[in-house]
Amino acid sequence: MGISAVPGSGKTFTLSLLAAELLAGGNLAVELGQEVLIVTYLNSSVDTFRSRIRGRLAEIGIQEVGYDVRTLHSLALEIVHLADGGYEFQDDLPAVANDAQVAEFLVRAVDGWIESNSEIWQSFLEQDSPTNRVRWRTITENTAQSFIRMAKNQRYSPEQIIARLSKLDDSFDIIPGPISPEIESHIITPTPLMYMMAGIYQHYQSSLINLGALDYDDLIWRAADLLEQRPDMVVELRQRWPYVLEDEAQDSVPLQEFLLNSLVGSDGNWVRVGDPNQAITSTFTAADPRFFNSFIERPDVQSLPLPNSGRCAPKIFLAANRIVHWVCDQHPVPEVRHFTFRRQDILPTPPGDAQPNPPDSEASVTIKVYLHREDEELPTISRLALQFSQNHPQDTLAILVPTNETGHHVSVHLDELGASYDNLLRGSKREREIAAVLQAILNLLAQPLDRSAYTRILVPLGEIDHPAGNLGKLDPNKIMTILRSIYNPENFLFPEDSVAFASTLPSGVATESELQFLEDFHSFLVRAFELRSLPVDDLILTLSDELFDSLPDNQPGSQASDLAIAYHIASAVRQWRDLQPDWRLPELAIQLADIAEGRRQLRSSRSSEYGYQPMPGCITLATQHGAKGMEWDCVFLLGIDGRWLPGSLESSFQGVHEFLGGDPSAEVLAQLRHLMEGDAGIYPGRTATESAHIDIICERLRLLYVGITRARKILHISRSRQTRRFNKEFESEPATVMGILYKFLNDYPS
């Protein structure tokens, strides 16, 4: 079954209810270990599914057994685990490299190839200069990342690619430029860039093998191979999971398609839920909504759409519908008309539904054009958002930006206004608070004689509402002054008796209540110092237990999510230490400060991983990509111009490099496909670069659709006629699709 579900239609609710009803209907032999398998994308979704299924089973009085909720990666790991020895613990199971390690392996692979082939690498540069070398190095790494991702999703090993390259006939000349439509069917020899990427891939994979590790694509690849090679295991798993329910199917990648299809078989039960119109990751992952669309169209698949949604007011969801129809019927690029959207209208919920649509009387859609982005649009939107949060403290609101760079400019304005906001561009507010308190403690452990280190702990302890930082009615400035005046800090930390402790403080200054606070603060620091000999990751985790076990019940964060963030911080610090063995606590504390101050985000820590929920009256700042899966009462969509939302193939696109013949990633991926399969996988009559640009147009239109449908009642879309980049002024053309929205609003009954 294929369920194409519009935004806000309740995909998770539907799958959870289906799983519970399958169990209630006696469709599984639970006593024999059979389970409904739910496969989802995010760890937070795993918890959501479990909670909803558990609640539904409790309502109907069914025992809470017979279901298993997994991410794709945990499913693959389970299959590998079973093949390597079953449920018994195995010491020799492969380690799975995390995002930070994968990034480091890629950097080393690129560096290793360049070091061995420096002349070839520099031969690409028309002008050799430090600036061009840095630029070319970045292009190399980004292209290699795309190449490796595609190769693994198509299950091409480095050895297979290199062997195929070695068999090419030497009589053919290397094609130096892009793949043109005229020669696409006759490509025999790839460009030098292809040879470079194959070599980097080989370096990268060697690093993983030497450490006995897999990256996430390797893990799924190995699981897929096992299902292909072990029919006995397939029989066992199909018996265990006779029903497979898949969430977010529009983001499926080739390896996922193969793995789940193998698991289900030709006569199994596979229910896939997703929204092709919200597929917004295909240009930077191996995902492609065409997989899900093709599945829905299969003759053996029952298609049951979920068109009703109570999220948005009619004026907003009808605007989104208008965009879908215009793109499907009238977009000037034929491929965009065919591949962007599934023709599927958002319909309101019927009368009596538990989630009625907000009425149009509470809704508004505004399109605003500013003269200059940096000088007018960004400060104005920041001010309008703050005013809305103050005038409507019961409502949620978000500013959604096209890029992190634009978001950084907005955050500067919000900071200047003193606005309360969650900056999801640089990690959640809670992530930064936890990083700040851990960084302050590490800094004190590293420099216990530095009096200022004591004062720098107070504020972050107070921000997480820890008792040791709870000043109550005490004057914070006076406590800070006393701490800065400590005499002999070593005696403050480790006094021989209470007299010695008091002697470290300014005489006759602290009141009795202030002395009591300082004693409690001192006790907390002593407990922290007792952990100083632990390895740095264990130190952070043990500190976190101390910090979050003491939080009051009304603390906004939950202990589980706080400890999860602390776990990611501990993992990141350990990786820094592994990569830089000479680093000690001072250096590690400096690195952690980057997370606390928002200059760096934890790679494995996304707000969605912790089930981020917007708080009323607090602005959420996020990218349009990062907003998927969330909703707000009011949404400001800014920067929606022709540069961000190209209207034709003649528009300006980033990532095109003439010295490489176009978009290097697009060109080399097409060459790889042609080398291995005889088909470059590009649109007929288009070059590889043109095909990539078509995909960008499609995804940006879907991204606009996602942005619009995040708003429940208020939607404010803006653009500017000019923008500044690299200290140069640029004219920004309007996005073609915005004219369609203008006309829709003019025609909409008031």
- For residue range 487-503, list pLDDT tens digits in order: 878 877 787 766 667 78
Residue 40: which domain range?
2-92+217-297
* Structural element, H or E, at residue 609: none
Tens-place pLDDT, residues 714-750: 999 999 999 988 778 999 999 999 999 999 999 998 7
Q: Determine the Cα–Cα distance for residues 241 and 233; give it in Å rounded to an integer.
A: 12
pLDDT, the chain, mean: 87
Beta partners for 715? 365, 635
Average pLDDT over residues 609-635: 87
Instruction: Look at residue 170 in the predicted model and tell me its pLDDT.
Output: 47
598 shares a domain with 460: yes
Same domain, 222 and 206: no
Q: Are residues 643 and 731 in the same domain?
A: yes
Percentage, residues of the chain above pLDDT 90: 53
Note whether residue 171 is domain-resident.
yes
Residues 455 and 583 in one domain: yes
Residues 578 and 623 both lie in one domain:
no
Beta pairing partners, 372: 722
Query: The tokens of 547 are what?
Result: 């910090």
600 and 474, same structural domain?
yes
Domain annotation covers residue 682: no
Tell me, yes or no, whether 397 and 499 share the same domain. Answer: no
* Range of weakest confidence among 233-247, 288-302, 437-451, 589-603: 589-603
Q: Which H or E run contains 41?
A: none
**Rounded average pLDDT over 547-560:** 56
pLDDT score recorded for residue 162: 93
Q: What is the CATH number of the domain that holds 402?
A: 3.40.50.300
In 562-680, where do the E strands start and end?
619-623, 632-637
Eight-state DSSP code of residue 376: I
Q: Of 243, 272, 297, which residue constitutes the final position of a domain?
A: 297
pLDDT at 182: 44
**pLDDT-derived band of residue 286, with 50, 70 and 90 as boundaries?**
confident
Residue 480's closest CA among 462, 464, 501? Answer: 462
Are 422 and 438 members of one domain? no
For residue 610, pLDDT beyond 70? no
- pLDDT tens string 7-52: 999 999 999 999 999 999 999 999 999 999 999 987 768 878 988 9
Which of the residue ranges 233-242, 479-488, 732-741 would you say has the lowest mean pLDDT? 479-488
Question: Cα–Cα distance between 598 and 215 in angstroms, integer?
Answer: 27
Per-residue pLDDT band for 579 (boundaries 50, 70, 90) equals low
Confidence at residue 313, expressed as pLDDT on a 0 to 100 scale: 98
Q: Are 404 and 262 contained in the same domain?
A: no
Residue 583: pLDDT above 90? no
Q: Is 647 a member of any domain?
A: yes
- Phi and psi (nearest 5°) for 500? -65, -40
Q: Residue 175's pLDDT is what?
A: 41
| 64/155 same-domain check | no
Q: For position 242, what pLDDT does the model report?
A: 96
* In a domain? residue 41: yes
User: With pLDDT > 70 as the criterion, what percentage of the chain qualifies?
Assistant: 90
Residues 6 or more apart whose Cβ sits within 8 Å of residue 586: 443, 446, 447
422/436 same-domain check: no
Q: Which of 259, 278, 297 is the last residue of a domain?
A: 297
660 found inside a domain: no
Q: Flag whether 102 is in a domain.
A: yes
Helix, strand or coil, per DSSP, at residue 497:
coil
State the DSSP string of 670-701: HHHHHHHHS-----TT--HHHHHHHHHHHHHH
Of 406-415, 426-435, 474-483, 538-547, highest mean pLDDT: 406-415
352 inside domain: no
Query: In the predicted model, is pLDDT for residue 184 greater than 50?
Result: no
Same domain for 392 and 441, yes or no, is no
Find the helix or strand (DSSP H, E) in which 67 lies. strand 67-71
Alpha helices in 41-124 (DSSP H): 43-59, 72-83, 99-116, 118-122
In this prediction, residue 398 has a pLDDT band, given cuts at 50, 70 and 90, of very high
Nearest alpha-carbon partner for 368 in 654, 714, 750, 749: 714
Residue 377 Cα to chain centre, angstroms: 27
Q: Answer with the one of 182, 210, 238 that is the final residue of a domain.
A: 210
Number of domains in the chain: 4
Residue 133 clears pLDDT 70, i.e. is over it: yes
* Best CA proximity match to 673, nearest among 273, 156, 138, 258: 156
In a domain, 339, yes or no: no
